[in-house]
Amino acid sequence: MGKPLDNKQIKILQDMFEESGAIAFGKKAILEYGQKSRKILAKTTLNDEAKEAVLALIKKMEKVEH
């Protein structure tokens, strides 16, 4: 592709994502879909081991959000 971004360019992009609301939108979506996923998971017929694996993934995504 192209050459790697330098630190100044990275900072500009980070600021742009923050100021545009994109980061807040993404964080909100992670939490909302995490809750929806938990409800769906509770209703599934997956075995307990599979449910725990999916729940661990949901928790990991929610933790990254913070």
Q: Give residue limits of the domains in the chain.
A: 27-66
Residue 6: per-residue pLDDT: 96
Question: In terms of residues, how long is the chain?
Answer: 66
Instruction: For residue 66, name the pLDDT band (cuts at 50, 70, 90).
Output: low
- CA distances to 3, 13, 23, 24 from 7, rounded to whole Å, are 13, 10, 19, 23
Longest dimension (CA), the chain: 50
At 24 the three-state DSSP class reads helix
- In this prediction, residue 64 has a pLDDT band, given cuts at 50, 70 and 90, of confident
pTM of the model: 0.70
What does the pLDDT look like over 11-56, one tens digit per residue? 999 999 999 999 999 999 999 999 999 999 999 999 999 999 999 9
